[in-house]
């Protein structure tokens, strides 16, 4: 049986392990927190720091294949492991590009992948000197996550909001829609592409609020988005699963925002909504089996279950009974015992052939199911 390791033990690792049960594989997880969502679902848990060279190297030695559920891992250790014969999907070279927003934007430019114009700023002074580029979005090169490390700067008086560290200053896109496309790449270079999803964000928390798949976009936009997403993964030259996040602007131009080299929130609906889920698909890649069928079974919506404002402590799920009586509604809790405002505690998938029903149920769930603390 192959030995497969996952760096990071959050909810993505947890859902990946739920799919691992269908395959002949011995699973290993490394994470600092003994009570992380994935800790109790793997065969072997190692407490360790995924950013530490020694911890990652020692964890990966002797494994057949290693993947990640978060980008902030020590890629030097991954490179050494790869040189010693451990399969690392995504490849460390692709991960290095994606981890750094400066390298990622330069990668798009070099490979003629449409993306918003940008300049690189090393510090606050350089940002101040480029006020003519505003309005723009300032993004920290490294260390940002889920909206932290991203700052909108509309006018010269606001430059103090920017970062005094290496960053990308991106032209503000007049966004009509944000969509995402998941693509799997096998070790042989075959690809399997999922239908695009519409992502709707919570403007306050900058977190995904709900999403609908397939996205409601004109055919022309669909073809552009697919071609662009395929180009991104082709140029990254790495097996794995990738989420390509795209902007559709008011003129129907399609621009890449960013790419995640791993299973992703925008693919959670695939657990019930598609024949092969993103988690099932990643096991096929990791274990070098044929890729799965990405076709949708039914259109799907996802609601993120976030910790309610004003509650910080042991999690209580209000409204769960009502949600569990709803047809074609699937609850996924991430096993986090402690809630805090905006924390991702779970997600709910809704299936229906009627878009109106998806939206109606999504709104109902957003208002009924709340994570509080007693
Ligand atoms: P993170 O990696 O933290 O998720 P993103 O780079 O995806 O950050 O940016 C977060 C959000 O900010 C995007 O989903 C989008 O709504 C907005 N945003 C990012 N870049 C731009 C841009 N160039 N123009 C307009 N809005 C943007």
Q: Convert the pLDDT of each residue in 33-44 to its tens digit.
A: 999 999 999 999
At residue 319, the 3 state secondary structure works out as coil
Question: What is the rounded average pLDDT for all residues in the chain?
Answer: 95
CA 258 to ligand 1 center in whole angstroms: 8
Q: CA 342, 348, 352, 356 torsion: positive or negative?
A: negative
Instruction: Answer yes or no: do 198 and 78 share one domain.
Output: no
How many CA atoms lie less than 13 Å away from 267 in the CB half-sphere? 31
Report whether the peptide linkage leading into residue 135 is cis, meaning its omega lies within 30 degrees of zero.
yes
pLDDT at residue number 295: 98
Same domain, 237 and 360: yes
Residues 58 and 132 in one domain: no
- Ligand 1 mean position, distance from CA 350 (Å): 26
Are residues 150 and 206 both part of a single domain? no
**Residue 206 pLDDT class (50, 70, 90 cuts):** low
Question: Going by C-beta distance under 8 Å and a sequence separation of 6 or more, which residues neighbour residue 239?
Answer: 87, 89, 90, 91, 185, 186, 187, 189, 285
Indicate the residue among 171, 188, 213 that finishes a domain.
171
Q: Is residue 100 part of a domain?
A: no
From 106, 140, 171, the end of a domain falls on 171
- Do 199 and 51 fall within a single domain? no
Q: What is the CATH number of the domain that holds 26?
A: 3.40.50.20
Mutation to probe ligand 1, out of 142, 206, 253, 261 (largest number of atoms < 8 A from CB): 206
CA-based nearest residue to 10, from 33, 26, 28, 27:
33
Distance from the alpha carbon of residue 259 to the mean position of ligand 1, in angstroms: 12
Rg (CA), the chain: 20
State whether 221 and 299 are in the same domain.
Answer: yes
Give residue 202 CA to ligand 1 midpoint distance, Å. Answer: 12
H or E segment to which residue 110 belongs: helix 101-110
Q: Whose CA is nearest to atom 4 of ligand 1?
A: 146
Confidence of residue 143 (pLDDT cuts 50, 70, 90): confident
Residue 150 near ligand 1, beta carbon < 6 Å:
yes
Please indicate, yes or no, whether residues 157 and 186 belong to a single structural domain of this protein: no
Q: 322 with 303, same domain?
A: yes
My answer on whether 142 and 229 are in the same domain is no
- pLDDT tens per residue, range 159-205: 899 999 999 999 999 999 999 999 999 999 999 999 999 998 766 66
Q: Which numbered atom of ligand 1 lies nearest the CA of 144?
A: 3
CB 199 within 8 A of CB 207: no
CATH no. for residue 286?
A: 3.30.470.20
116 Cβ below 6 A of ligand 1: yes
pLDDT reading at 351 higher than 60? yes
CA of 145 to the centre of ligand 1 (A): 11
Hey, which residues does 249 pair with through a beta bridge?
Answer: 175
| Domain span including residue 348 | 175-373
Give how far Cα 236 sits from Cα of 93, 112, 261, 285, Å: 8, 13, 10, 16
50 and 76 inside one domain: yes
Asked if the model's pLDDT at residue 221 lies above 90, the reply is yes
Tell whether 200 and 332 lie within a shared domain.
yes
Three-state secondary structure call for residue 34: coil
Are residues 351 and 241 part of one domain? Answer: yes
Across the range 107-116, mean pLDDT stands at 98
Beta strands 87-88 and 118-121 are: unpaired
Per-residue confidence (pLDDT) for residue 209, from 0 to 100: 73
For residue 53 the two structure tokens come to: 């060279």
Could you tell me if the CB of 175 is within 6 A of ligand 1? yes
Ligand 1 atom closest to residue 255's alpha carbon, by position in its atom list: 23
Q: Which atom of ligand 1 is nearest to the CA of 245?
A: 7
95 in any annotated domain: no
- Total domains, the chain: 3
Q: What is the per-residue pLDDT for 319?
A: 97
């Amino acid at each position: 049986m192959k030995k497969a390791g996952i760096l990071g033990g959050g909810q993505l690792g947890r859902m990946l392990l739920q799919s691992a049960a269908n395959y002949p594989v011995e699973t290993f997880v490394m994470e600092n927190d003994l009570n992380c969502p994935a800790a109790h679902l793997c065969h072997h848990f190692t407490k360790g720091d995924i950013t530490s060279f020694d911890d990652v190297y020692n964890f990966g030695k002797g494994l057949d294949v290693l993947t990640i559920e978060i980008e902030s891992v020590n890629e030097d250790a991954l490179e050494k492991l790869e040189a010693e014969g451990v399969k690392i999907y995504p490849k460390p070279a692709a991960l290095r590009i994606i981890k750094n927003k400066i390298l990622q934007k330069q990668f798009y430019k070099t490979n003629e992948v449409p993306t918003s114009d940008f300049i690189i700023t090393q510090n606050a002074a350089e940002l101040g000197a480029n006020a003519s580029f505003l309005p723009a979005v300032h993004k920290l090169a490294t260390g940002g996550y889920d909206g932290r490390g991203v700052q909108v700067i509309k006018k010269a008086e606001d430059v103090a909001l920017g970062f005094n560290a290496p960053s990308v200053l991106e032209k503000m896109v007049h966004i009509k829609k944000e969509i995402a496309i998941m693509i799997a790449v096998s070790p042989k270079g075959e690809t399997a592409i999922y239908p695009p999803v519409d992502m709707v964000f919570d403007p306050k928390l900058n977190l995904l609020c709900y999403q609908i798949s397939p996205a409601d976009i004109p055919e022309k936009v669909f073809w552009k988005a697919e071609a662009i997403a395929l180009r991104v993964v082709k140029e990254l030259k790495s097996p794995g699963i990738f989420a390509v996040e795209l902007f559709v602007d008011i003129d129907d131009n399609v621009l890449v925002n960013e790419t995640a080299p791993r299973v992703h929130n925008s693919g959670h609906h695939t657990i019930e909504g598609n024949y092969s889920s993103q988690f099932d698909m990643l096991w096929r890649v990791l274990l070098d089996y044929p890729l799965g069928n990405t076709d949708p079974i039914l259109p799907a919506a996802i609601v993120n279950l976030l910790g309610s404002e004003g509650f910080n402590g042991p999690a209580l799920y209000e409204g769960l009974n009502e949600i569990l009586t709803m047809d074609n509604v699937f609850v996924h809790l991430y096993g986090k015992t402690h809630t805090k405002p905006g924390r991702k505690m779970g997600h709910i998938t809704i299936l229906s052939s009627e878009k109106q029903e998806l939206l109606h149920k999504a709104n109902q769930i957003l208002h009924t199911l709340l994570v509080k603390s007693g």
